[in-house]
Chain A
Amino acid sequence: MRDRVSKVFLFSFAVIIFLMLPLVADRFYVQFASKILVMIIFASSLNLLVGYCGLVSLGHAAFFGFSGYILALISPTEAGVNFMLGLLASVLGAACLAAIIGSLVIRTKGIFFIMATLAFGEMLFYFFHDTNLAGGSDGIYINHRPVLDLVSFSTDFSNANHFYFLALISTIITIVFLRILLKSPFGKTIVGIHINEHRMRAIGYETYLHKLICFVIAGGLAGLAGFLSAIQFGAVNPEMMGWHLSGHVLMMVIFGGLGTLTGPALGAFSLMVLEECFQVTTKHWQLMIGIVIVVVALGLPKGIAGFFQRTKSEERG
């Protein structure tokens, strides 16, 4: 019970800090924080797959990028698309793609699953990279961002603060949604599949179906992140689907702690802040990041979230 109160308290505290940020920080930091929030959604979606269901995907960026492309392609050149329409099209589009790819890759297991997701991700990357359908390797601009008409005013997501609040609200909704999902019978089922799929089948679960649904939900959430990212930068390019990004976000999840709700948030936050710091100080920032990741992987096998859990249980004795 005390545990739960402190969790709610910490969550509210984090939300308040994030809410106040635009009041105190200048534009650069607001934009940077928005970028982190988008990556938190993306990492959380991958965590559902990797951390809870045990499906290690190296092609998750496919859904992130695909969703961004949908938004770019349905945005008229002279005005912004309706926000709700853009959101629905992007997220559902990514979920449909996940259903198609998922129905094939989920037949494979382990290393073959990793290779199959990687292959589909790369296929999509090269499809957008090498055809003129959507700007080829340069990608396309979204000249006018989607417009959301609220009761008293219209949003302008090219404004850093407006976008920041959009990202913040989306992040909160995502985390609350995942929390509810993981407490539900479905959530318990995918965790069971992660632990012992063979026995799950023997007690009567059609595990293929559950894994596919999990894959689709994760794809849809990655689509939400991609949609937001496309709005923030006002442009999409094939790199958004590349395995580089898939690997990067997987690193965030592992860094933060697989199979915990806070892990992806901690991982995305700390990794991006570290990258930013190293980029300012040295040209060889990727080398520094590599070293940090090796150290964390060796020292904190359960990631940053695992570290906090450990100290907490040690305190209890």
Chain B
Amino acid sequence: MTQLAVLRAKKISKHFGGLVAVSNVSIDCPPREIHAVIGPNGAGKSTLINLLSGDLRTTAGEIYIGEERIDRMSVSQKSKLGIGRTYQRTNIFPNLSLFENCFLAAQAYHGTSLRFFKGARAYVDVRDTARMAIEKVDLQSISNRLVGTLSHGEQRQVEIAIALATKPKILLLDEPLAGMGAEESENIINLLSELKSEYAMLLVEHDINAIFALADRLTVMVDGEVIDCGLPNDVRENPKVQEAYLGES
């Protein structure tokens, strides 16, 4: 890989007491690529995302964004450096409108949250960023609805819009298709392939069809370890992978 990765993890591990959830995992996310991570339940995929985003601290190893080492930073510091993430279980602000959801995220990016006197809505650049995020997920028509009243599929899109409003360099997507019907999945898959031109992405997903439609490179994890990493079609041919994962489904 000639291009420098946006996000790099070098041999990161996470132990919960005696349990090794993630062991010596190295992973690169180059710009404008979707790096997908698959593996059976309990393989440590979500833990990996939580380590990269800062929701969990690594036990060992190093994480870099660009040249900067970030594995000792808090989740909010990492977010400011450009890590945007979505959650497997929808994690939004249910009693605010879609616009307000994205507005909060944009406000974090613009760093205006410690202004006390001017009305929040008067910050035009914050508003523009929020609107940009809503346009990207194509939900302009419902930007004034309370997101708690939206359908599950729409809420999953809100989840992505919030992450986009922080103007991330990389998106960590934790099962964005979880619990979606075929048509809704189709929408998200299209959305993600559009976003690929702008963001590096790490995608954890169970939907194999989506993975092969989207991924530029594929990592397979089993029991906290990487068993293969490469181009999706090469990985598919690996007998170890077939045995561990693809063969089962």
Residues of A within 8 A of B (CB): 180-181, 183-189, 191-192, 195-196, 198-207, 209-210, 213
Residues of B within 8 A of A199 (CB): 87, 91-93, 162
Q: Are A192 and B93 in contact (CB under 8 A)?
A: yes
Q: Are A204 and B108 in contact (CB under 8 A)?
A: yes
Nearest residue, chain B, Cβ from A184? B116
A187 to B122, CA, bound (A): 14
**Lowest 8 A-B CB distances belong to which pairs?**
A204-B79, A204-B108, A189-B113, A203-B105, A185-B120, A185-B112, A192-B104, A183-B119
**Could you tell me the distance in whole angstroms from the C-beta of B31 to the nearest C-beta in chain A?**
21
A207 to B104, CA, bound (A): 13
Nearest residue, chain B, Cβ from A180? B117
Residues of A within 8 A of B58 (CB): none
**Could you tell me the distance in whole angstroms from the C-beta of B46 to the nearest C-beta in chain A?**
14
B199 within 8 A of A: no
Q: Are B91 and A196 in contact (CB under 8 A)?
A: yes
5 contacting pairs across A/B (C-beta < 8 A): A184-B118, A185-B112, A202-B79, A203-B76, A210-B113
A150 to B198, CA, bound (A): 63
Number of interface residues of B (CB under 8 A): 39
Q: Are B120 and A196 in contact (CB under 8 A)?
A: no
A187 to B105, CA, bound (A): 14
B96 within 8 A of A: yes
B156 within 8 A of A: no
Q: Are B162 and A185 in contact (CB under 8 A)?
A: no
Known contacts: A183-B119, A188-B104, A188-B120. The answer to whether A202 contacts B114 by CB under 8 A is no
Residues of B within 8 A of A213 (CB): 114
B53 within 8 A of A: yes
B187 within 8 A of A: no
A186 to B120, CA, bound (A): 8
Known contacts: A195-B96, A201-B76. The answer to whether A184 contacts B115 by CB under 8 A is yes
A183 touches which one: B53, B55, B79, B120 (CB < 8 A)? B120
A186 touches which one: B96, B103, B115, B126 (CB < 8 A)? B115
A202 touches which one: B55, B100, B103, B120 (CB < 8 A)? B55
Residues of B within 8 A of A210 (CB): 113-114
B8 within 8 A of A: no
A170 to B79, CA, bound (A): 41
How many CB-defined contacts (below 8 Å) exist between A and B?
95
B212 within 8 A of A: no
B80 within 8 A of A: yes
**Could you tell me the distance in whole angstroms from the C-beta of B118 to the nearest C-beta in chain A?**
6
Q: Are A205 and B119 in contact (CB under 8 A)?
A: no
Q: Are A185 and B93 in contact (CB under 8 A)?
A: no
Q: Are B80 and A202 in contact (CB under 8 A)?
A: no
B120 touches which one: A184, A203, A207, A209 (CB < 8 A)? A184
B47 within 8 A of A: no
Q: Name 4 extra pairs, CB < 8 A, besides A204-B76, A210-B113.
A: A180-B119, A183-B121, A201-B79, A202-B87
Residues of B within 8 A of A180 (CB): 116-117, 119
A213 to B163, CA, bound (A): 26
A195 touches which one: B93, B114, B119 (CB < 8 A)? B93
Binary interface encoding of chain B residues 52-96 relative to chain A, with 1 for a CB under 8 A from any of its CBs, else 0? 010100000000000000000011100110001101000111111
A183 to B103, CA, bound (A): 13
Nearest residue, chain A, Cβ from B95? A195
Q: Are B116 and A205 in contact (CB under 8 A)?
A: no
Q: Are B92 and A188 in contact (CB under 8 A)?
A: no
**Could you tell me the distance in whole angstroms from the C-beta of B200 to the nearest C-beta in chain A?**
18
Q: Are A186 and B116 in contact (CB under 8 A)?
A: yes
Residues of B within 8 A of A186 (CB): 113-116
**Could you tell me the distance in whole angstroms from the C-beta of A233 to the nearest C-beta in chain B?**
32
Q: Are B108 and A205 in contact (CB under 8 A)?
A: yes
**Could you tell me the distance in whole angstroms from the C-beta of B84 to the nearest C-beta in chain A?**
8
Q: Are A184 and B162 in contact (CB under 8 A)?
A: no
B23 within 8 A of A: no
Q: Are A196 and B93 in contact (CB under 8 A)?
A: yes
A72 to B108, CA, bound (A): 43
**Could you tell me the distance in whole angstroms from the C-beta of B113 to the nearest C-beta in chain A?**
4
Residues of A within 8 A of B76 (CB): 201-207
Known contacts: A188-B103, A196-B93, A198-B91. The answer to whether A203 contacts B116 by CB under 8 A is no
A180 to B117, CA, bound (A): 6
B13 within 8 A of A: no
A239 to B159, CA, bound (A): 49
A187 to B109, CA, bound (A): 17
B117 touches which one: A184, A196, A209 (CB < 8 A)? A184
Known contacts: A186-B116, A195-B93. The answer to whether A201 contacts B74 by CB under 8 A is yes
**Could you tell me the distance in whole angstroms from the C-beta of A197 to the nearest C-beta in chain B?**
11
A210 to B74, CA, bound (A): 16
**Could you tell me the distance in whole angstroms from the C-beta of A114 to the nearest C-beta in chain B?**
23
Q: Are B113 and A201 in contact (CB under 8 A)?
A: no
Residues of B within 8 A of A189 (CB): 104, 107, 113
